[in-house]
Structure 1
Amino acid sequence: MTIKKTGSAKYEGLGKGGKGHVSTQSGALSDQPYGFQTRFEDKAGTNPEELIAAAHASCFTMALAFKLADAGHEDGTLDTSAEVSLEKDGDGFTVTKSALSTKANVPGLDKAKFEELAAEAKKGCPISKLLTCEITLETQFEG
């Protein structure tokens, strides 16, 4: 089975003066502005790194939720963030790291089992597999 999802970007003008808009097939993003100012300054809009961070956080969280369900846990909450690092690299830039941080409250689960399942989810998450940068995981287990 192959599932295909699409996103699109349009950029008008070139370089720092250009302005772009990004959209997703689902409509979750529709002509969301992006460009130099939204990526490297504080102008409202989005940028590729925060979109990757959101994709990684959501993919990992879903993978962990399914790992927990497969282990017999039906109730709980997961709250994950991802911080994507973009570093200057010679002539351009490279995404060098995605740091996942997740907090979980899963009744009846012990911390060691949670950390084991979280590590498996990090490794198996399709977005983790896509990224070739360093991926770290910090867990906070509340019970």
Structure 2
Amino acid sequence: MKRNATAVWNGSLKEGAGKLTTQTTTLKDTQYSFKSRFEEGVGTNPEELIAAAHAGCYTMQLTAYLSEDGFKVESIESKCDIDLQEGTIVTSHITIHAKIKDIAEDVFQQYVTKAEKNCPVSKVLNAAISTTATLG
């Protein structure tokens, strides 16, 4: 499987603006800019998109592990926080709230850690990756 996205930028870094389009067109000419990345502007930014990718990938990986072993996943909600410092993404932290039938807390935490280390987006990030997970 291969996926792609296209970025087009016009103008200087601070005054210019860009548009992002994904292969599926879920994002189609979605605007991004210096302001949306470093200040308060309309549009998205690369770090927000990485956070979305990491949260989505992680949630699917955790669900796969749990389902493969016969656990009934009612819901998993994952929020990813990306920390960009001095031009480098230094951390990606995922907070998970899950409803899973008949699973012990310690067993659940083992799956959380396994997914943290093995989701494809975790593997591609050169950042400290951490998770906090609660069952409820």
TM-score, normalised with respect to structure 1: 0.93
Aligned pair in 2 of structure 1 residues 132, 115: CA closer, same or farther (>3 Å)? Answer: same
How many residues are aligned here?
136
Map of 2:79 onto structure 1: 81
SS at match of 1:109: coil
What residue is the counterpart of 1:95 in the other structure? 89
Aligned counterpart, 2:17: 19
* Alignment partners' CA distance in 2, 1:9 and 1:118: 33
Question: Structure 1 residues 66-75 or 98-107, which shifts more?
Answer: 66-75
Displacement after TM superposition at 1:75 (Å): 3.5
The AA in structure 2 aligned to 1:37 is: K
2:35 maps to what in 1?
37
Aligned with 2:131: secondary structure?
strand
Query: Residue deviations 1:67-114, cap 9 Å, x none?
Result: 1101101331000000000111xxxx1111001110101011111111
Partner of 1:114: 108
Give % identity.
35
Per-residue CA deviations over 1:39-65 (Å, capped at 9, x if unaligned) read 011111000000000000000000000
Structure 2 gap segments, 5+ residues each: none
Q: CA RMSD in A?
A: 0.7
Tell me the distance in 1 between the aligned counterparts of 2:79 and 2:114: 17
1:9 to 7, 10, 15: 7
Unaligned runs of 5+ in 1: none
Counterpart of 2:133 in structure 1 is 139
